[in-house]
Amino acid sequence: MTRKIASPRLLTIRDAAEEAGVCTRTVRRWIKAGLLPIRRLGGSERLVRIEENVWRAFLREA
């Protein structure tokens, strides 16, 4: 029997911004400053997501 490993939920920059009550520019600044790690999807420079567990930890520490 194999175990299925759950993938972390991925948030868009917009989702994260709405949840934190900030604009998307602010989230992008946090990413650019290296404060918030992201995952690039499909090798794209533009398609990025934030792991929900990373986002929650970031909000707790902020």
Phi, psi for residue 32 in degrees, rounded to 5? -60, -35
Mean pLDDT for the stretch of residues 18-45:
95
The whole model's pTM is what? 0.83
pLDDT computed for residue 1 by the predictor: 63
Mean pLDDT for the stretch of residues 7-13:
92
pLDDT computed for residue 22 by the predictor: 97
Work out the pLDDT band at 36, boundaries 50, 70, 90: very high
3-state SS assignment for residue 39? strand
- Closest among 8, 61, 62 to 38, alpha carbons compared: 8
pLDDT at 18 over 80: yes
